[in-house]
Each structure stands twice: as structure tokens, then as C-alpha cells.
């Protein structure tokens, strides 16, 4: 969140960035999460992936409290074997790469059979550092598909397109 504010504001005082981040978190964690919408076709796609016996996880930079509230509110928690945020473990995870590595180790997942779908450079970096295939979700908030290496990325323009890319 702080990085996003830095990009939006530019060379702002770090105390201001910290204040904005803290206030945003307070608002989002208490009521802002309720405004979360599901992209079209997500539930149907998750149902299909589940029918294919594909084990799914959520790796997010969002704190666990609003993450679980959102998933519970949208009745989507049951699709996922695990949901991991930086603050999920007994020791905070320092990056998405660390979270991905935790999941790979805990669930004994072969990197060759795993895919990370995401929209940010952070997601792409986590996939790369963990030896995972990466699919760029161009419809998301992040803009990894606009990066200098975007021509190398496998891209989807809507979540249901994922079904055509998954070998089941």
C-alpha cells in the first residue's frame, strides 16, 4: 500500500505516506472491504477448476483480517486449500515470494505443476523466484502486463480464459 501511495504522490514525506497507509488500512479493514466486487465469471471458473480437482491457494499482500472477511462475505473460501497473507504465520512473511515458498514447502507442491496467476510485478517476481509458471491477469489492478518484459508473459484478459490454459 505504501508503494502505491509513493507512486501516486511522488516525492512525498515518508511520514505522510505512513499516515495515509495507516488511515487507508483502518478504513478498509473496518468497512472498505465490503465494497469488494467479484470479476465476471470468477465463481463459475473456480467451480470448474474445483471440478477438475485443481488445488487452489490465495497468496496476497492484503492483511489476513480483511482477506478472510471478503472471502467469507463472497462465499468463496471453500474453493481454496489455504489463504496466506504476510501476517498469516507466526512470523510475518517478507514478500509474496516467501509466501509462495511456504505454500510450496508446506503442501509439497512440484513447481513444474504449479501456476501463479496475478496482476502485479510482485506476483511475477514471486513466480520467477519460486520457479513457477506465471499468467498475467491483465484485468487486475496491477499492470504487470504493461512492463518492459510483458511480451514474454502469458496473459489472460478475463478470469474464465484460465480454463483454456489449464491442462486437466
What was the pLDDT predicted at 163?
96
What was the pLDDT predicted at 29?
76
In the predicted structure, residue 9 carries a pLDDT above the cut 90: no
CA dihedral 140, 143, 147, 150 (to 10 degrees): 10
What was the pLDDT predicted at 34?
81
Mean pLDDT of 86-102: 92
Which helix (H) or strand (E) element contains residue 24? helix 14-30
What was the pLDDT predicted at 148?
53
pLDDT tens digits, 11-70? 777 788 888 878 888 887 778 788 888 999 999 999 999 999 999 999 998 999 999 999
Phi and psi dihedrals of 83, rounded to 5?
-130, 120
What was the pLDDT predicted at 103?
97
pLDDT tens digits, 108-160? 999 999 999 999 989 999 999 999 999 999 988 777 766 656 556 789 999 99
Considering the entire predicted model, what is its pTM? 0.83
What was the pLDDT predicted at 145?
64
Pairing of strands 82-84, 57-59: parallel
Residues 6+ apart with CB under 8 A from 10: none
What was the pLDDT predicted at 13?
77
Question: Are the beta carbons of 133 and 122 closer than 8 angstroms?
Answer: no
CATH number assigned to the domain covering 38-165: 3.40.50.1000
Domain boundaries, the chain: 1-30, 38-165
Amino acid at each position: 500500500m505504501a508503494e502505491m501511495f509513493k507512486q501516486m504522490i511522488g516525492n512525498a514525506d515518508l511520514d505522510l505516506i505512513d499516515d495515509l497507509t495507516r488511515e487507508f488500512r483502518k478504513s478498509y479493514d473496518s468497512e472498505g472491504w465490503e465494497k469488494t466486487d467479484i470479476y465476471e465469471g470468477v465463481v463459475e471458473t473456480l467451480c470448474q477448476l474445483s471440478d477438475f480437482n485443481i488445488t487452489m491457494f490465495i497468496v496476497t499482500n492484503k492483511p489476513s483480517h480483511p482477506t478472510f472477511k471478503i472471502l467469507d462475505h463472497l462465499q468463496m473460501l471453500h474453493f481454496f486449500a489455504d489463504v496466506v497473507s504476510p501476517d498469516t504465520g507466526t512470523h510475518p512473511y517478507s514478500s509474496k515470494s516467501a509466501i509462495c515458498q511456504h505454500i510450496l514447502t508446506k503442501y509439497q507442491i512440484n513447481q513444474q505443476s504449479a501456476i501463479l496467476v496475478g496482476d502485479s510485478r510482485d506476483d511475477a517476481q514471486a513466480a520467477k523466484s519460486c520457479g513457477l509458471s506465471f499468467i498475467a491477469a491483465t484485468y487486475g489492478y496491477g499492470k504487470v502486463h504493461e512492463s518492459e518484459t510483458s511480451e514474454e508473459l502469458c496473459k489472460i484478459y478475463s478470469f474464465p480464459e484460465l480454463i483454456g490454459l489449464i491442462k486437466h
